[in-house]
Structures are given as C-alpha cells and as structure tokens.
Amino acid sequence: MPCPYFTRLPRSDALAIRTWLNTIPPVRHKVVSNQLPFSFDIRASLAAWQPGSLERAVFQTRPIPPPTGQKLGVESRADLVEGPMHCGMCYTPKNILGGDETGSRLRGYSLQGWFAPNITNSTYRGLGGWRIDDIVSYLKTGHNRIAAASGPMAEEVADSSSHMTDADLHDVAIYLKDQSAQAIRPAALPASDPTMKLGSAIYADECSACHTPTGSGISGLFPMLAGAQAVQSRRPDSLLHVVLVGTRSVGTQGAPTAPAMPPFAWLLTDQQIAAVTTYIRNAWGNAAPAVSSGDVATARQSLSDAGG
C-alpha cells in the first residue's frame, strides 16, 4: 500500500476515494496471514518508520514553461504524480528501511525482476528524448513511437492511466519533463570487442526481424532499442527479464494489439544472452555497462524461483 504517497492527498480527495469504494459490491476474500519475517511483522514498528518516510505536504499545480520545442500547455500536475499515481513507489530508489531516497527521486529502481527506469528528463537514461505527446500516448495506450508497456507498467496502464483524461496526462507529462537529473554516460564497448561481435550475430538472427537491424523498432508495436533509456539503465534487469521469459505488452482501447515477445531462455545460453544484451546496450549509439554470464545466471534462477 503506497501510504507515503496517499498522505499527500488533500483530505477531500481521500474522502472522495473512500466514498467511491463504498459503492463497490463486496466480495468474499480469505485474508492471508502475515508472512513477513521478524521484526517487519510487528505493525507497531511503523510508529518509528513513519516520521522519516511520510511526507504530508500537499503538492499543488504550478505553471511551468513548456520544454524546448514544445507548444503544448504550461501546467504541471505534481499533485497527481506525487500523490495518487505514486510514481515514486516504483521509480524512486529505496533506502535500507524501504523509504524513498529523496535525493534520487524518479531515477530508477529494481523490483519484481524488472528495473523501473529513470523517468526524469535526463537526456541519457531518462525521458530527455521523449516528446510530451510520447509520454501522453504511453500512459494512455501503453505504446508510442519508442516504447511499449509490459510487466508491472502494463498493469498500471490498463487499470489506471489509460482511464485518465488527456488533459491530466498532458499535465503529468509536463511535470516529468520538468524533473532534471543528468547521468554520467560511460564509454560504449567498441564494435570490435569479441562480446559485441557475438552479440551482433545473435541479434541479427533472433531479434532484428521485429526490432529492425538498426534497433529502430516498429512504432506502436515493437519497442525502439536505439537510444532507449530502458535499454541503457544502470541495471539490465528488465532487458534480461524479457529476453529470458518473454513478455506481452498491454492492450488498451487505443492500442488493442498487445504484441508479445517470445522467451529465449530455452534457446540461448547464459553466455549468448550476456553477449546479445551487451550488444543491445552498446550498439547504435547506446552506452551501458556490459552484462556478464553471472548476471544472466542470477536472473535466470531468480525468475525460475518466482515462477517466471
């Protein structure tokens, strides 16, 4: 339950949510007993956790100049992003106690076998290459010219943001484009590197038919890999997830196709998956740390244990 974010709601909004919930017919549901280990199973410990982890300030809409080259609107919906949408729940790194690392807000976090990427306006690892309408389209339909929502984000789009108004999504996009954070860009592996050569051959055989030889993808169907911030994230969790066990992007009214990617865990060895993901992270102008066979083995085992 994202309590730290819902404490930022005006009381009237919280009461409105409760009023709506009261209209939902009840269902029979057996409550599962608490499975948390000691001392996390002691609810009273929240009394010590809350003072450092709950921000009760209410965020307000404020005017923001449109990003360079943009002509759409000048409103920011901080109240939506920081409150009921609780974007920081997934996209903000957590400290040892599970609270937000506020100095790294929205800069990416690993969870459930995925890596929620940087969603600041960073030109390297964030949304710097996304236009306002790219963000709106992604949140509304789960697809745009760059990316496709899958994993936990597919659930968010299907059940939440796809039902929001275009005006609210536009204001959310303005707010995200106003979040500045630059990441240090590493040197890309050269094409002559043996791992890059092996990865290039595997990519040509197994990936290029959908994502194209240049990594440009197919707008609205298959994600772009060239310049994609999710591909160049500091951790390769999401890339390894989709390569190992496959995924299906979300289907919405605006983009009902929901294209899928097949799993390759049965076909490729740890070394081969390390090579192709390293290639994807360092080809076409991309630059990110290499993926090792050990990284793949760890992800393979973790996903297997989780039933992936």
Q: Where are the alpha helices (DSSP H) in the chain?
A: 3-6, 11-21, 46-53, 78-82, 88-91, 132-141, 152-159, 166-177, 194-206, 208-211, 237-245, 270-282, 293-305
Phi-psi region of 39 (alpha: psi -120 to 50; beta: other; left: phi over 0): alpha
Mean pLDDT across 85-108: 90
Q: What is the pLDDT of residue 72?
A: 46
Whether residue 48 is contained in a domain is answered as: no
Whether residue 180 is contained in a domain is answered as: no
Whether residue 174 is contained in a domain is answered as: no
**Residue 273 in tokens:** 């998956």
Nearest to 189 by CA among 51, 290, 67: 290
The structural domain count of the chain equals 1
Structure letter (DSSP) for residue 238: H
Q: What is the pLDDT of residue 74?
A: 46
β-strand 75-76 against 247-248: which pairing, if any?
unpaired
CATH of the domain at 268: 1.10.760.10
Task: List, for residues 129-157, the tens digit of each pLDDT value.
Answer: 999 999 999 999 999 999 999 999 999 99
Rounded-to-integer distance, Cα 137 and Cα 19, Å: 30
Residue with tokens 């209209």: 23
Provide the pLDDT confidence category of residue 60 given band limits of 50, 70 and 90. low
pTM, full prediction:
0.86
Is pLDDT of 56 > 90? no
Is pLDDT of 260 > 80? yes
Provide the pLDDT confidence category of residue 116 given band limits of 50, 70 and 90. very high
Whether residue 36 is contained in a domain is answered as: no
Is pLDDT of 307 > 80? no
Whether residue 61 is contained in a domain is answered as: no
Whether residue 244 is contained in a domain is answered as: yes
Whether residue 246 is contained in a domain is answered as: yes
Q: What is the pLDDT of residue 69?
A: 53
Mean pLDDT across 281-286: 96
Task: List, for residues 267-283, the tens digit of each pLDDT value.
Answer: 999 999 999 999 999 99
Q: What is the pLDDT of residue 59?
A: 63
Rounded-to-integer distance, Cα 143 and Cα 220, Å: 5
Provide the pLDDT confidence category of residue 38 given band limits of 50, 70 and 90. confident
Do 121 and 179 contact (CB within 8 A), yes or no?
yes
Q: What is the pLDDT of residue 73?
A: 47
Mean pLDDT across 195-203: 98
Provide the pLDDT confidence category of residue 61 given band limits of 50, 70 and 90. low
Enclosing domain of residue 233: 194-305
Mean pLDDT across 100-106: 89
Whether residue 235 is contained in a domain is answered as: yes
